Structure 1
Amino acid sequence: MRIGLLSFAHVHAEHYQALLRSMPGVELVGFWDDSVHAQSYAERYALKQYLTPQLLLAQALDAVIVCSETSRHREVVELSARAGVHVLCEKPIACTLEDAEAMRDVCAQHGVTFMTAFPMRFDPSCGELRQAVHSGQLGSILGVNGVNHSENPSVHRSWFANPALSGGGAVMDHVVHLTDLLRWCFACEVAEVYAALQWTDGAGENGTALDTAGIVLLTLTNGVQASIDCSWSRPATYPRWGHLKLDVIGTDSLMVIDAFADHLTVYPPDLTRPVQWLGFGVDPNQAMLTAFLDAVQRRQPPPVSWQDGYEATRVVLAAYTSAQQGRPVRLRPARCESTEDPGDGQGS
């Protein structure tokens, strides 16, 4: 399969290129990136650079991974769909619902598969949680506490701190992951959103205020209440980028998920470099890429659909509205606009 990478803007792009090159039967044809760092990416990873996305898309590609700034997702997805190239799109899929809907429409018009990049669905611990919920192992669910903290990603890519490009700060960056896991595990939608956010002056590009932390309270359509503690609170010296955790409290049992707990602590011998936590075990990103390429090759619906990305984006935008208005926001049930089967999220 011939694969292209549309931009190195997202921090995940570097990991994706390494994984794609390790996969049998996959050729990473090259990449497009129009930043000042594009040439350095080409040299560092020995990748062929294309000066425009159109030139890359003209290389008889089967699929692309979209890793541009969030505000540019619509632009590159539309180009890809019109070229008949299938798309795996980074999360959040768009800054606005209008852009998300336009991406859906163009992919449907050209018969192109669109998959949202939610790798945590492919994490074994999250899969065990979903199975425990569906089997009734935990009894009636009383509540869920979720945590997703990280360092400020603008240390690595400055555009994350520019809401015009990213759509927002920590809430936009983190809440989509846990929202998707809740929807997937409980097989229901979010009915109500309430959010209290911390706005940090000067944290955004050009010294603007940016949301760097928040508590988001969700009520699901099945009555389960969940909290999401999201922040960019980890310092640049933290041993890993951050973490994702879930506490699911039931009448019969409590299940705790710490998705990145499996790690080795590495102490550099000269102590001039920071301590690192190196993860081991299954890489959910690799499982996600495998599932996407398998769906494209078999001409089957992807295991994570456009609708999944859309619903998570709806919740994030409702959280910002709630914080601005100081009240809960009710979400109207969204008619499923996608013809894709959401599947089980495990690439089966």
Structure 2
Amino acid sequence: MKPLKIGMIGLSHGHAYSYMHEMSSLTETVLVGIADEEPVRGKDAADKYGVPYYSDYGDLLASEADAVVICSTNARHAELVKAAAAAGKHVLCEKPLGIDREEMREMIEACRAGGVELMTAFPCRYLSSVVQAKEAIDRGEIGDILAMKGTNRGKMPGGWFTDRERSGGGAVLDHTVHVADLMSWFLGNAEATEVYAQIGTLFHEVDIDDAGMLHFRFDNGVFGVLDPSWSRPAAFPTWGDVTLEIVGTKGVISIDAFSQKNEVYGGQSGTHWDYWGDNMDRLMIRDFARSIIRGIPVPISGEDGERAASIALMAYESAALGRPVSSGQR
């Protein structure tokens, strides 16, 4: 079985560097080129992996690549996904899938029309605690789910993430989508029908939201509560967390997705957490490649990405209006 030839478009998101490392080491993938708008950054990465650098992503799309991974700023996702679809390239797109509902639908339709797969990068689905929780839920071990409470609290990333023109939103968009996707997945791809949110800037001197509290109702009646924030200080031992408490009619499941860690104490460097658990990025990239090679649908679709991002977008609408927003009113 030949490995999937993948090009990287955009190095703006930090996840790009982890994805490139995994693509260069997996037997199922081979990195064949890097396109980035910043020449120094792009050339340095291309030299490291011994692949061509493209200043114009169109030249990469015209290359031998079978697929591309997109890690640009959020505002460019739609442009790049649609261009890749037109070139016949399968796509793995960094989250959030998009910053506008209409553009996300256009991305999904472009890939459908181009006969290519569109996968949203939600690597948290590959963490052991998450996988085991999903299996327990599907076996009915906690009965019917009644409610879920989650957190995604991290450090403030800075840079273009705080520029609304390029990011589309702050912590609420950045950190809602991972946990919202898990909640929807646990419920069999349920849709949020109502969202109420309080959003603010509480922890940093930035002109964008760094905190929020979201309450939402799914179409099957289940309630969700989520704290997505950039509330961790620079000295915090790790970048953040992903937690979930799932309440059912017969029991409760608690998830601390990154609890597989050692506490390391080191002189001038202070304390940090050394994570030893699952390499979620590696598992996600491998799953994407195997799906394309085998000719089967990708496990995390563009629709999954739209579903999760829409919760964040509804949250911004709710906060602006000061009341709950329902999907029927959009």
TM-score clears 0.5: yes
State the 1:201 CA deviation.
9.4
Q: CA offset at residue 202 of structure 1?
A: 7.2
Question: Structure 2: which 5+ runs fail to align?
Answer: none
Q: Name the residue aligned to 2:175.
A: 174
- How far off is 1:47 after superposition? 4.5
CA distance in 1, matches of 2:214, 2:203: 20
**Separation in 2, partners of 1:202, 1:128:** 36
CA change 1:300–1:11 in 2 (3 A) is same
Q: Once the two structures are aligned, what percentage of the paired residues are identical?
A: 38
| 1:274 CA drift (Å) | 4.4
Contact kept? 2:10, 2:35, Cα under 8 Å: yes
How many residues are paired up?
A: 325
- Which residue matches 1:338? none
Residue 122 of structure 1 deviates from its aligned partner by 1.7
Residue-by-residue CA offset, 1:115-173 (whole Å, 9 max, x unaligned):
1111112222112222222222113434211011000111xxx1111111111001000
Match of 1:125 in 2: 129
Matched with 1:19 is 22
The offset of 1:230, in angstroms, is: 1.0
For the residues of structure 2 that align with 1:123 and 1:175, how far apart are their CA atoms?
17
Match of 1:134 among 128, 132, 138: 138
1:130, 1:186 within 8 Å by CA — same for their partners in 2? no
**Which sections of structure 1, spanning at least 5 residues, go unmatched?**
335-348
1:86 aligns with 2:82: no
| Alignment correspondent of 2:294 | 298
Contact in 2 for aligned 1:202/1:210 (Cα 8 Å): no
1:143 corresponds, among 143, 147, 151, to: 147
After the TM superposition, list the runs of 4 or more consecutive aligned residues in structure 1 that deviate by more than 6 angstroms: none
Partner of 2:323: 327
**DSSP-derived class of the 2:242 partner:** strand
Contact kept, 8 Å, 1:200 with 1:210, in 2: the verdict is no
Partner of 2:187: 186
From 75, 96, 115, the counterpart of 2:100? 96
Q: Deviations over 1:256-310 (max 9, x none)?
A: 1000000122333xx2334321211321211111111111111111111111111
1:213 and 2:211 are equivalent in the alignment: yes
Distance of 1:127 and 1:201 partners within structure 2: 33
Q: Name whichever of 12-21 and 137-146 sits farther off.
A: 137-146
SS of equivalent residue, structure 2 residue 262: strand
Deviations 1:177-225 (CA, angstroms, capped at 9, x unpaired): 1111111101122121010111359744xxxx21101110011122111
8 Å contact from structure 2 (residues 97, 305) kept in 1: yes
CA gap 1:332/1:132 in 2 versus in 1, 3 angstroms: farther
Contact residue 134 and residue 186 of structure 1 kept, 8 A: no
Change over 3 Å in CA distance of 1:333–1:186 after alignment to 2? farther
Q: Which moved more, 1:255-264 or 1:100-109?
A: 100-109
The residue identity in structure 1 corresponding to 2:182 is: L
> Which residue in 2 is equivalent to 1:236?
234
- Alignment of 1:161 with 2:162, yes or no, is yes
Structure 1 residues 203 and 76 mapped into 2: Cα distance closer, same or farther (>3 Å)?
A: farther
User: 2: distance between equivalents of 1:201 and 1:180?
Assistant: 25
Question: In the alignment, is the contact (CA less than 8 A) between 1:201 and 1:210 conserved in 2?
Answer: no
> For 2:295 and 2:49, how far apart are their aligned partners in 1?
30
> Helix, strand or coil: the match of 1:74?
helix
Task: Work out which of the residue numbers 34, 39, 50 in structure 1 matches 2:37.
Answer: 34
* Distance of 1:201 and 1:189 partners within structure 2: 31
Partner in structure 1 of residue 201 of structure 2: 199
1:107 to 91, 97, 111: 111
Instruction: Give the counterpart letter for 1:63 in structure 2.
Output: A
